Structure 1
Amino acid sequence: MISWYHSWIAAIRIARRDAWRAKGRSLLVLAMIALPIVGVSAADLTVRSAELSTAQELERRLGAADAEIGASSMNAPIYQNPKGDRYAPVGGYDTYVPGDKADQVDPLKALPAGAEVVKDSVGQAKIRTTHGLLNTDLREVDTADPLVKGRITLDRGRLPRAAGEIIATTAFLEQSGFFVGSTVSPRGTDLSYRIVGAYELPSALAAVEVIAQPETLLTPVDKALRAADVPGVRADTKYLVKVGGDGFTWNMVKEANTKGLLVISRAAGLNPPADSDVPLYAQESKDLYGMDGENAAEMAALATVVGLAMLEICLLAGPAFAVGARRSRRQLGLVGANGGDRRHIRAIVLSGGLVIGAAAAVTGTVLGIGLTVALRPLLEEYLGLRWGGFEIRPLELLAIALLAVVTGLLAAIAPAITASRQTVLASLTGRRGVRRANRVLPVIGLVAVVAGAAIALYGAVSDMGSLVVAGGSALAELGVVALTPVLVGLFGRIGRWLPLSPRLALRDSVRNRGRTAPAVAAVLAAVAGTVAVATYQNSQDLQNRHEYVAELPSRHGLIAVTDNSAHKEVPAVREALSKEFSLSVRADVERVVVGRAGCDSYSSEAGCGRTELVQPKEQRCPLYDPANRTTEFTDEQRKELRKDWRCQFASHYTANTVVVADEKLLTALAVTDPGTVAALKSGKPVSFSKQNVKDGKATLRLITDTDAADAARSKGEEEPGEDKVLAVHQAPEGVKGWGVELVLPPAAAKAAGLTTVPFGSYFALDGLPTSEQRQALDGLFDTMGVDAEFKIEEGYQGDNSIVMLALAIFAGLVTIGAAGIATGLAQADAEADLKTLAAVGAAPRVRRTLSGFQCGVVALMGVVLGSAAGILPAVGLRLTDARVMQKRLEDGYSMVMGSKSQEVYVPIAVPWETLGLLLVAVPLGAGLLAALVTRSSGALARRAAG
């Protein structure tokens, strides 16, 4: 035992001395191993530090209060989980009937006597800024109250004390161009507020929000907007509560749930009740929306990435240890000559991996900690939250550090075995000897390739998913790695037809397979991953291009004022459009309103209604008819119904399905059907959806009571409202309305007694606008203070070319780096051969060309093998996608609306341009780079002493 201990101590001392003497090679290997450790340790520290405890989360949500209580969206009794982030109506959604908003329980009446309460109300409005308008959350809460302490962090300035004073988040100040001391004004009002302080929400650093004293912001802004016939500010009110004693207990939470109230309780969060005491879990599974499967997939993917990173490091570091052992073969021979056996030789080489691995572990961990500390402010801004602290978990960092040690040892195993097999005479004389090729490894590699391919393809066609595909692909890739020495030998057979320098380079690579094969395998691993991602991305891009549904005709567009309170500014918007863009046609459109002019089709403001096109019952799609919401359809029935003409819908974008316009609109929509054009020109409404038309008539329903309409719809009943029956012209099948279902001529809208307001314009362009023209138009909108939505159909705009270029560049850099390392090691290992060439009269440029071809040969072999290996995982993943999409379609999910909704199109497209770039440019670039950095002359060696 003592002898074993002392022999390892001696081996470590020898390895440490050798590493110090060969600083360049040692630093290279250390950097390769330490770099992933830096990233992994920094990621671990970031995740752990950013992961808030339950107590920290509750403090940032509740401040010093015991609970937050407010009305749920159900207006009915509910069940909730202890955290309060999930709830459902009592009895489930199948029997759920929404209650009347007027019957909502006042949360204050559900609180015990003597409870301390702070009102917290939030709404949203647009605020005028130095750039235009900014959507901002308006909050009213008494920030000086002790219960609010911990919810916000005051950065500078002071808290608001009186009406007309607000504090703003730093994100609001950055985006608005304001500062502490500025005066701001909500749009649509003449009210003004002075910013007296800046703050941040620790868990929402990007929040755009302002806070004022209670009753000084939301109420005045709401009244001012309504007085100007503009939708007011809808406030969501909750209450911070402190009850003392044991806090807001779980029994108190359940009692509040019976009144339709949702509670975030500190006591229930810190000490959650047993699952059996949570009625929600008895009604529906606790893991109904769980992420366990996704977390398992993420962990598997992470393990795969770490494993491949270790493999590549071992493949690159292995040759370095092999060269180190070869350069120290005389020293190792002396160990054998003085009584050392093979295990001592192996211990010395393995100690080299241990020493460098340990140094890499310490260096990587220290750099990871330092990097995380230095980048903490940037990481917090990127993540959007302040960390609860800087948490270091020693065991996790130790495990990460051990990963570096294990990697170093794994990289040194093969060189250690090779060095131990050298005879003492061969080591002392410098002869390398001749070893027969390993016949077992290629067989194992071939079996792994076949088995891996079979597993990957099985995972693609079964329910086992992408993890099995990834595992099978990794196994196949390892098999190719095991076959690499044999494949390198096969490459060597083409050397007989090559000129001198490439022939020498290829022969050297084949003779030194222990150095060449790992380098080729490292390039193979990098290229295989890149080709797999590139093939998958290219196939996905082709699928997206096939499934792309244009929202408008090519080079046609729509400009719409989305802020319905700004309908009076629509004419100015239209003129700005015509001024900046070259238009071939502009069709001005209006929309139908029910109630105030500031209402739209989806508004739920008081005094606002909406319009809906009513489909005859027999023409409604059974799958989406509210009356059939409890009907169970079989898979076969759903499949057949999706082919029914009643279930065919267009997925074109539109802000309104019913518009008021003249015949110019048809030109702007590229509608050329003579009958349709003639009908609209004659003053007859035109329908583009045959589901809405029966016996030449369409029904437009004006709904004034939206709450009653929503309640009726939820019950599968007809919505109450006033029907306008219009004689219409149905456009022929194949004529697209591009999202517009009904066009009313102005005269027909007036005759039907409909109220309309300006909405926007459809237009056709003579040519696509430049970036400068778009910026100029946006500047005009900012000047006018208008929030306008702007859309131009430019066709499918995939970023596939950029992604492919980025992947090719990444693969090129990795490949050149790996090939460069292999070339440097080859030069160090073959220095004697180069000196021999000089001695026999070889030209100086032979050294440079030989170096370039050595690097190019390694790169070429790795790229060719990696390109072939990378196709398998891409094919497997695409087959998995096809199976999943087919299953989803059979379950009733329509992937693409419109005419393509019934087909599953999952192509497999190899990115030939990327492969060509890898196969030609990368080896050529690697060879040229190696040739340029290699000296063309070297000193002749002195004759070795006999």
Structure 2
Amino acid sequence: MTTWFHSWRAAVRIARRDAWRSKGRSFLVLAMIALPILGVSAFQLTMRSSELSAEQSLERSIGAADAQLTDAQMAGVPILQDPKGEQNTPVEDFAKTDKPWPSGPTDVAKAIPAGSTVLTDTDGTAKLTTTHGLLQTQIRELKAADPMARGIMTLTEGSFPEKNDELAASTAFLKSSGLTVGSTLTARGFDREYRITGAYELPSDLKTEQVNALPGAFLAPYAAAVEKAGSPRPDVTTTYLVTRSGGFTWNMVQEINKKGVMVVSRAVVLDPPADSEVPLYQRDDFHRYEDSAAGTAAALAAVATVVGLAMLEICLLAGPAFAVGARRSRRQLGLVGANGGNRSHIRAIVLSGGLVIGVAAALVGTVLALLLTFALRPLLEEYMGQRFGGFTIRPLELLGIAALAVLTGLLSAIVPAVTASRQTVLASLTGRRGVRRSSRVLPVLGLIAVALGASIALYGSVVTDQVLIVAAGSALAELGVVALTPALVGLFGRGGRWLPLSPRLALRDAVRNRGRTAPAVAAVLAAVAGTVAVSTYAASRDAQGLNEYQPKLPFGAVAAIVTEEGGRDAPAVREAVQRFFPVDSRVDVSRIAVGKPGCAPWGGGKGCGRFEIVIPKANECPLWVETPDGSDPSERFTPAQRTKLLQDDWRCKGMRGDGVYVEGNMLIADAPILKVLGITDPGAAKALADGKLVSFSAPQVDKKNDTVGIRLITDLEAYDKAGQEHKPLPGEIRSLPAYQVPGEPLSYGVQSILTPAAAKAAGLTTVPMGAYFTTDRLPSTEQRQKLDGEIAKLGSEVDLTLEEGYVSKNSLVLLALTVFAGLVTIGAAGIATGLAQADAEADLKTLSAVGAPPRVRRTLSGFQCGVVAAMGVVLGSAAGVLPAIGLRLTEEREAVRFYEQSLAEGWGSSDGPPVMPIVVPWETLAALLVAVPLGAALLAALVTRSRGALARRAAH
């Protein structure tokens, strides 16, 4: 034991001195191993620090209260809930009865135990005035200075409101609004002014734009003012923070649940009951939202695969660097053998180099991760949108990550250590390398791995739907190609006879010294294969996205739709778009209004209604016709019949394409709207001129008399009730003469058009909704920002759509992958070139002695680097296509099966089966195959000295 310890201590000392002597090589390997450790450790520290304990989560949600009581909106019927207060359901199983699902408010105050201290927490929204205009903002009425609310908000400046005319604002709101503490603000349509007394932040949601007022100080008077102006009353929700002696036990929570009230209890969350004591968990129809074992296993497998491939990549890159050190220390290792050291001592010295670099990389990576995470904590918190619970350090996890660095360093040094130990003492002292035959077993194993991996990937993509099987097979095949690399390098050498002198020497040198060439080529192969796989997959997804893309408007067209308050700001919005965008033409559009003029589209609010297009009975799709007993109408048909109806029956086919959604998919506009939508049918323009409704949806038109019916719904509650009870729907129906556009043209979501004059003649009330525009060119980013700012000043909700066509989301990804692969390729080729120069120093001196010019050294170095890069890129490009094709075939089978299943169930699309193209990114491959090897060769040539240093005479 003592001898073993002393020999390893000596080996470590030798390795440490050698690493210090070769600082450049040591720093390269150290950085190569430390950077992944830095990234993983920083990620681990960030994730652990951002995790909140149960107590911290409760403090941010309910402050110092014992419980939070919330209306479950179940009309007061008894409910069951989980211990955390996140899920609930009625006690009675309404799905098995004819009773409607309960819906409606509950008086939460009646469920609060007597003798409790209560603090109300009310949420709503309002449009507040800012320095830029108006901003839709969350209003929270909570007495934030109360001790019971401690922890919900963190005061950063000033004070919380103490009077009814005071507000505090979140830092996110102050940043967006341009206001500061001390400013005054009000809301649109509200004549009260409030002074901002303080700034605060929500620890778990730093990006929320919110203002805080005292209970009853803002929302109630604001709602009254809005309703008085004729607009719908804004929605308001109230929860109750409650404190009582003894807290809230699980039994108390269940008693309160009987009144239809949800409870988040501090005591229950911190000490939850057993699952057997939770009635909700015993329900047959209840599904707990937890990670499945299969999902967890898949995630772990994915992480293990990524970690394994990263370690393989580092080992392939760092291995030649350790081989450089072993070659440069060849004489030193020979002296160890000459003085009685055996092969195990030589292996220990080289392995100690990996151990020393690995430990140093682990230490540097972990320390840098700690420092960077701590220093960047404010930026990380802002990026994640929440404050950390603390700076959490878990030593065992960090030690595990650091152990990966040590293991990677040792694995990187194994092959150089074995190679160095096989050198005879005489060969090491004299500098002779000897001749070794390449292994015949490794290529055989590589071929077996390639065949087996390809078969597994093919099976996964054609027979099963398991992506992990495809990934595992592809990874095995890639490892097989790595094992075949030495043999493939030999095959490349046969092409050297047709090359000029310098590239021929470089290629023959690479083939003759496969021990250093193969790992570098394999490293390039692995990096390029991953890049090609991901880029092929991304390019294929891009092609699929282009094929599936549904434009909302013709290219370059703009739609500005005002979606609230009776279109009051529609004229101003039209004017703003025409002022800031390069508009070629404008068509004003309106909508049918039912009820008060100030009503928002789609109804809502007292005295507000809506309209709908009536589908004639004869035109209703049999799959969707309601049954008298309320059962699913599609159940009357077999899967084959449902599929046939969706594919062949015109009544069951949906509209072509997508579009800007407007109420009822109907526009009130004049004939120029046809040109904006790209409708060229002359019959449509004539029909509008004749006062007819133009329809793009065949089921809308009653074929008997060529009319379309519009139902005006004034009583929404009666309408909804009649629908639930399967009774005739109330509402007056207006019939208009209609023209059906033949051929089902693409109308971008618009199903019908009616002119304002025809609408007025039919007795329909219309209000402005916005406009459609055509442009002579796409607006610039500056123009869009100016328009957004102008619309923000108006304060109305505006749905602004600019059709820019399909925009690829993967172009930056492909560029980043190409750059990454290029850097790894150049790095690996550079390491191989350094090793080649160390080995070929004697050959270079011989060339100089026979009269070769000085530039030969530089040229040979460049070609050596380019040869390694070219071989790796060619092999990697071939190996990377397999996993991408396998994944795409798997996705295609899954998508086709889902499509067929949706048709059989009676709800799928009739547009045809999905198209899943496989596209090879030739631009990326060209950059890898040409630019990367060429760049590596030029870089190596530039950094290589033309003349070598004078060497001292070797002592024999």
Per-residue CA distance 1:548-572 (angstroms, 9 max, x = gap): 112222333211123x126233223
Segment drifting more, 591-600 vs 439-448: 591-600
Per-residue CA distance 1:479-534 (angstroms, 9 max, x = gap): 11111111111111111111111111111211221111111111111111111111
Give the CA deviation at 1:540.
Answer: 0.6
Pair 1:645 & 2:670 matched: no
Matched letter for residue 30 of structure 2: L
Distance of 1:92 and 1:360 partners within structure 2: 60
Report percent identity of matched pairs.
Answer: 61
Alignment equivalent of 2:749, drawn from 739, 758, 763: 739
Q: Which residue of 1 aligns with 2:330?
A: 329
Q: Which residue of 2 aligns with 1:32?
A: 32
Distance of 2:639 and 2:213 partners within structure 1: 55
Query: What pairs with 1:348-497 in structure 2 (closer than 5 Å)?
Result: 348-497=349-498
Pair 1:789 & 2:799 matched: yes
Q: Secondary structure at the match of 1:206?
A: coil
User: Is the CA contact (8 Å cut-off) linking 2:231 and 2:598 kept in structure 1?
Assistant: yes
Q: Secondary structure at the match of 2:376?
A: helix
Per-residue CA distance 1:391-428 (angstroms, 9 max, x = gap): 11111111111101110111111111111111122122
Give the CA deviation at 1:301.
Answer: 2.1
TM-score normalised by the chain length of structure 1:
0.95
Segment drifting more, 732-741 vs 53-62: 732-741
User: Is the CA contact (8 Å cut-off) linking 2:566 and 2:601 kept in structure 1?
Assistant: no
User: Is the CA contact (8 Å cut-off) linking 2:536 and 2:884 kept in structure 1?
Assistant: yes
User: Is the CA contact (8 Å cut-off) linking 1:98 and 1:711 kept in structure 2?
Assistant: no
Q: Which residue of 2 aligns with 1:278?
A: 278
Q: Which residue of 1 aligns with 2:676?
A: 668
Give the CA deviation at 1:277.
Answer: 2.6
Give the CA deviation at 1:616.
Answer: 3.3
Distance of 2:773 and 2:403 partners within structure 1: 65
Q: Which residue of 2 aligns with 1:227?
A: 228
Query: What pairs with 1:499-518 in structure 2 (closer than 5 Å)?
Result: 499-518=500-519
Q: Which residue of 2 aligns with 1:874?
A: 884
Per-residue CA distance 1:588-634 (angstroms, 9 max, x = gap): 11111222223233343233222222323453345556656645476
Q: Secondary structure at the match of 1:588?
A: strand
Q: Which residue of 2 aligns with 1:606?
A: 606
Distance 1:331 1:584, change over 3 A: closer
Give the CA deviation at 1:698.
Answer: 2.4
Give the aligned CA root-mean-square deviation in angstroms: 2.5
Segment drifting more, 203-212 vs 780-789: 780-789
User: Is the CA contact (8 Å cut-off) linking 1:835 and 1:939 kept in structure 2?
Assistant: no
User: Is the CA contact (8 Å cut-off) linking 1:159 and 1:196 kept in structure 2?
Assistant: yes
Distance of 2:92 and 2:366 partners within structure 1: 54
Give the CA deviation at 1:856.
Answer: 0.8
User: Is the CA contact (8 Å cut-off) linking 1:894 and 1:901 kept in structure 2?
Assistant: no
Q: Which residue of 2 aligns with 1:249?
A: 249
Distance of 1:31 and 1:766 partners within structure 2: 53
User: Is the CA contact (8 Å cut-off) linking 2:521 and 2:872 kept in structure 1?
Assistant: yes
Distance of 2:285 and 2:29 partners within structure 1: 52
User: Is the CA contact (8 Å cut-off) linking 1:626 and 1:714 kept in structure 2?
Assistant: no
Distance of 1:88 and 1:576 partners within structure 2: 48
Q: Secondary structure at the match of 1:186?
A: coil
Query: What pairs with 1:198-209 in structure 2 (closer than 5 Å)?
Result: 198-209=199-210
Distance 1:824 1:660, change over 3 A: same
Matched letter for residue 201 of structure 2: E
Pair 1:774 & 2:784 matched: yes
Matched letter for residue 9 of structure 2: I
Alignment equivalent of 1:655, drawn from 654, 662, 665: 662
Number of equivalent positions: 943
TM-score normalised by the chain length of structure 2:
0.94
Distance of 2:626 and 2:539 partners within structure 1: 40
Distance 1:39 1:920, change over 3 A: same
Distance of 2:871 and 2:220 partners within structure 1: 73
User: Is the CA contact (8 Å cut-off) linking 2:902 and 2:908 kept in structure 1?
Assistant: no
Per-residue CA distance 1:53-106 (angstroms, 9 max, x = gap): 1221112111111221122244354332222222334455734855676x6320
Distance 1:566 1:299, change over 3 A: farther
Distance of 1:732 and 1:305 partners within structure 2: 55
User: Is the CA contact (8 Å cut-off) linking 1:648 and 1:898 kept in structure 2?
Assistant: no
Segment drifting more, 150-159 vs 131-140: 131-140
User: Is the CA contact (8 Å cut-off) linking 1:519 and 1:822 kept in structure 2?
Assistant: yes
Give the CA deviation at 1:582.
Answer: 4.7
Distance of 1:546 and 1:602 partners within structure 2: 33
Query: What pairs with 1:770-849 in structure 2 (closer than 5 Å)?
Result: 770-849=780-859
Distance 1:307 1:802, change over 3 A: same
Q: Which residue of 2 aligns with 1:725?
A: 735
Q: What are structure 1's unaligned runs of at least 5 residues? A: none
Segment drifting more, 616-625 vs 19-28: 616-625
Q: Secondary structure at the match of 1:611?
A: strand
Alignment equivalent of 2:947, drawn from 911, 926, 937: 937
Give the CA deviation at 1:725.
Answer: 3.1
Distance of 2:225 and 2:377 partners within structure 1: 44
Distance 1:132 1:297, change over 3 A: farther
Q: Which residue of 2 aligns with 1:906?
A: 916
Q: Secondary structure at the match of 1:849?
A: helix
Q: What are structure 2's unaligned runs of at least 5 residues? A: none
User: Is the CA contact (8 Å cut-off) linking 2:230 and 2:599 kept in structure 1?
Assistant: no
User: Is the CA contact (8 Å cut-off) linking 2:697 and 2:744 kept in structure 1?
Assistant: no
Distance of 2:728 and 2:840 partners within structure 1: 87
Distance 1:761 1:629, change over 3 A: farther
Matched letter for residue 832 of structure 1: A
User: Is the CA contact (8 Å cut-off) linking 1:477 and 1:525 kept in structure 2?
Assistant: yes
Give the CA deviation at 1:266.
Answer: 1.9
Give the CA deviation at 1:361.
Answer: 1.1
Give the CA deviation at 1:214.
Answer: 0.7
Give the CA deviation at 1:812.
Answer: 1.6
Distance 1:190 1:864, change over 3 A: same
User: Is the CA contact (8 Å cut-off) linking 1:92 and 1:283 kept in structure 2?
Assistant: no
User: Is the CA contact (8 Å cut-off) linking 1:638 and 1:891 kept in structure 2?
Assistant: no
Distance of 1:473 and 1:918 partners within structure 2: 21
Distance 1:456 1:379, change over 3 A: same
Per-residue CA distance 1:779-808 (angstroms, 9 max, x = gap): 443454454332232322224444333322
Q: Which residue of 1 aligns with 2:315?
A: 314
Matched letter for residue 474 of structure 1: A
Distance 1:776 1:62, change over 3 A: closer
Q: Which residue of 2 aligns with 1:916?
A: 926
User: Is the CA contact (8 Å cut-off) linking 1:275 and 1:281 kept in structure 2?
Assistant: yes
Distance of 2:639 and 2:59 partners within structure 1: 49
Per-residue CA distance 1:24-76 (angstroms, 9 max, x = gap): 21121111111111111111111111111122111211111122112224435
Matched letter for residue 946 of structure 2: S
Q: Which residue of 2 aligns with 1:892?
A: 902
Distance of 1:77 and 1:707 partners within structure 2: 25
Matched letter for residue 774 of structure 2: A
Q: Which residue of 2 aligns with 1:679?
A: 687
Matched letter for residue 22 of structure 2: A
Distance 1:871 1:718, change over 3 A: farther
